[in-house]
């Protein structure tokens, strides 16, 4: 059953669609038209923020004070650039779930979207795993799996810039089978109008400034721990002792590499929030950006 926030947001959408107080559709090809649209969107986005803040379980834990103005300038001055949304957060925070929800709702709105996971940019460590006998043994020997140096960040940056400029890419694919193998040029990613990028490497220093919207997903540690241990045992067939050992590593690595980015995020989302409510927020944004007064017929 939907939470009351979802029902209330649905009412806001219906009110928006039935309202007679609408603007004429701006000419997006002109700067003045884009400025009018941005002013309108700013008003509506602040309406969402005010509503969410009053909710018993808000999804927006924080919004960077500069975000609305900075994103508005981007829409006005560089409208042809692909919209890149970066989603990061500690392990089991809910970032993958929110990423899937964004993709699903964008597709339902018949808008073109591509998704890229930065987990595929892990370095190839197959030789190291062979040397130490297993991934777990390599980790126990001190290999820092989530450190920036463990990712192909130069390749990731190059690929993100290509996507932003309208060029398709072939991303690497890191095999999640414990072998540590990375296959180059294995995943074709199309440069669609909206590109959602998810993973802890999304906001490392060398790539974070490429994104137009930077999202940090956070969830309380106890909830994250229960999620992670459950997945490790049920989906990856790890024994409880090793699962707990890896969780302790991830907790330390997250505090070192991921949590510091929280201060720079545009939006901080509750990773345990009601997805039905989140979907309604996305649909409200779609409604206000596609609901204009029709010009009178010449007939």
pLDDT-derived band at 22, boundaries 50, 70, 90 = low
Structure confidence by residue, pLDDT tens digits, 135-164:
889 999 999 999 999 999 999 999 999 999
Sort 288 into a burial class: Cβ within 10 Å, 0-12 / 13-18 / 19+. buried
Average pLDDT, the chain: 88
Percentages (nearest 5) of helix, strand, coil residues in the chain = 50, 15, 30
d(CA 44, CA 188): 36
- Which residues does 80 contact at the CB level (< 8 Å), separation at least 6? 166
Write down the architecture of domain 77-271 according to CATH: 3-Layer(aba) Sandwich (3.40)
Domain ranges of the chain: 1-59+273-294, 77-271
What is the Cα 162 distance to its own chain's centre? 19
pLDDT score for 299: 42
d(CA 179, CA 182): 9
Say whether pLDDT at 230 is over 70: yes
Structure confidence by residue, pLDDT tens digits, 245-278:
999 999 999 999 999 999 999 999 999 988 888 8
pLDDT score for 293: 58
Structure confidence by residue, pLDDT tens digits, 283-294:
888 777 666 655
- Pairing state between β 113-117 and 194-198: parallel
pLDDT score for 51: 86
Closest of 86, 67, 60 to residue 205, by C-alpha:
86
pLDDT score for 221: 95
Model's pTM, two decimal places? 0.88
pLDDT score for 295: 45
pLDDT score for 178: 84
Closest of 209, 211, 197, 217 to residue 259, by C-alpha:
217
Structure confidence by residue, pLDDT tens digits, 46-82:
888 888 888 888 899 999 999 988 988 888 888 888 9
Structure confidence by residue, pLDDT tens digits, 88-141:
999 999 999 999 999 998 898 888 999 999 999 999 999 999 999 998 899 999
């Amino acid at each position: 059953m939907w939470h009351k926030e979802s029902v209330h947001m649905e009412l806001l959408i219906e009110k928006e669609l039935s309202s007679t107080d609408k603007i004429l559709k701006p000419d997006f090809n002109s700067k003045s038209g884009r400025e009018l649209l941005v002013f309108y969107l700013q008003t509506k986005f602040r309406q969402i923020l005010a509503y969410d803040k009053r909710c018993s379980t808000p999804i927006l834990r924080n919004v960077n004070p500069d975000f609305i103005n900075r994103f508005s300038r981007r829409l006005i001055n560089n409208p042809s650039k692909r919209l890149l949304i970066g989603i990061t957060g500690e392990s089991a925070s809910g970032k993958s779930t929110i990423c899937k929800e964004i993709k699903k709702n964008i597709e339902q709105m018949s808008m073109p979207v591509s998704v890229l996971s930065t987990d595929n940019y892990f370095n190839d460590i197959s030789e190291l795993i062979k040397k130490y006998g297993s991934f777990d043994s390599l980790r126990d020997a001190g290999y820092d799996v989530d450190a920036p140096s463990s990712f192909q960040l130069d390749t990731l940056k190059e690929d993100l810039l290509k996507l932003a400029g309208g060029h398709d890419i072939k991303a690497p694919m890191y095999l999640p089978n414990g072998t540590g193998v990375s296959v180059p040029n294995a995943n074709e990613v199309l440069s669609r109008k909206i590109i959602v990028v998810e993973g802890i490497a999304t906001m490392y220093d060398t790539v974070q400034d490429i994104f137009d919207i930077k999202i940090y997903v956070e969830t309380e540690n106890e909830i994250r721990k229960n999620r992670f241990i459950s997945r490790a045992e049920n989906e990856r067939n790890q024994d409880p002792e090793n699962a707990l050992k890896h969780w302790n590593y991830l907790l330390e690595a997250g505090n070192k590499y991921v949590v510091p980015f929280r201060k720079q995020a545009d939006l901080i989302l509750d990773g345990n929030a009601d997805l039905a409510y989140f979907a309604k927020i996305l649909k409200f944004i779609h409604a206000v950006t596609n609901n204009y007064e029709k010009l009178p017929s010449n007939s």
